[in-house]
Amino acid sequence: MMACRPMTEADIPRGLDLCRQAGWNQLERDWQIFLKLSPGACLAMEEGKVIGTAVTLPYGDRFSWIGMVLVDREYRGRGIGMELLRKALDLINKETTAKLDATPEGRQLYLKMGFVDEYPLSRMIKPGVNHSPYISAAKVFQKNEWGAIKEADSPIFGADRLSLLEWIWTWAPEMAFVLKKNNKLLGYCFGRPGHRYFHIGPVVAADAETARHLVLAAINQGRGRSLLLDVPHFDPSWPVWLKSIGFEEQRPFYRMYRGSNRFPGEPEKQYAILGPEFG
């Protein structure tokens, strides 16, 4: 008999197995932050072993995020993903908008559950090739700049996610950059390790020129690592520029929501998102 229960620390190795099956980039620490920030609201579907997962992450009273919907390949086609999604939605306040980023395959499931498209994205990857340093005006982020980040980020993302940004920074402080002009914050980016790729994101900027400086600084610091960005489709010149410096599109996916979406933020200023699992 299948049973759905709260996920625990002991389930993380199995969650990582499912990530590897799906070719996803998450590490143990990604699972740990879900369990820390959303205890009791991360789900494991079990039939002798964990065969599926889903997590929910509330962003205050603005919206709740659904992510890490994974099903063991041997159990697919049995409605397990649909049941996990139903259970995840049951955990979310009915007055709160539910949001997620869907693969093309998963999108069909979410459409059936009442989700609608908000905007498309592309996963862009760059092989780890050594090169001469790029010229960038961005500077390494300093602790005393958290106040400016907090003030800028919530209106752009649509909700307070400072705890997540602080978590990323403690994991890889050398990959956090800011760009200022006359002491005014124009943009910032963070980065974190992954299984196959170092994930750059979010990249938040007033314009594409600022975003370019931030990404080039991250590439310089990456020192030949394989890199990944998840890029919303707002500025058509942005993916063209990324391709010009060696990125290529790996796959598309879709930002979706169910509910009123009263707090969409300013996605046109997000040149790369934090990640499909976080928003």
Backbone angles phi and psi of 260, in degrees to 5: -85, -25
Beta-bridge partners for 147: none
Task: Kindly tell me the sign of the dihedral angle through the C-alpha atoms of 35, 41, 46, 51.
Answer: negative
Return the number of other C-beta atoms located less than 10 Å from residue 223's C-beta. 11
pTM: 0.95
Which DSSP state fits 75?
A: G
Residue keyed to tokens 């520029």? 241
β-bridge mates for residue 101, sequence order: 255
Q: Which residues contact 188 (CB under 8 A, 6 or more apart)?
A: 141, 145, 149, 152, 176, 177, 178, 179, 204, 205, 214
- Within the chain, all domains assigned CATH 3.40.630.30 are found at 3-95, 124-272
Query: Which helix (H) or strand (E) covers residue 165, if one does?
Result: helix 162-171
- CATH homologous superfamily of domain 3-95? Gcn5-related N-acetyltransferase (GNAT) (3.40.630.30)
- Give the DSSP per-residue string, 35-63: HHHSTT-EEEEESSSEEEEEEEEEETTTE
Helix (H, G, I), strand (E, B) or coil at 106: helix
Contact 121, 254 (CB under 8 A): yes
252 within 8 A of 129, measured Cβ to Cβ: no
Q: What are phi and psi of 107, to 5 degrees?
A: -55, -35
State phi, psi for 72 to the nearest 5 degrees.
-55, 135
Res 145: pLDDT: 95
What is the distance between the alpha carbons of residues 150 and 185, in angstroms, rounded to a whole number? Answer: 11
Q: Rounded to an integer, what distance in angstroms lies between the CA atom of residue 255 and that of residue 274?
A: 13
221's enclosing H/E stretch is: helix 208-222
Per-residue pLDDT, 128: 87
DSSP state of 135: P
Give the integer Cα–Cα distance in Å for 208 and 136. Answer: 13
* CATH 3.40.630.30 assigned to 124-272: yes
pLDDT beneath 70, residues of the chain: none
User: Can you read off the two tokens belonging to residue 92?
Assistant: 């979310």
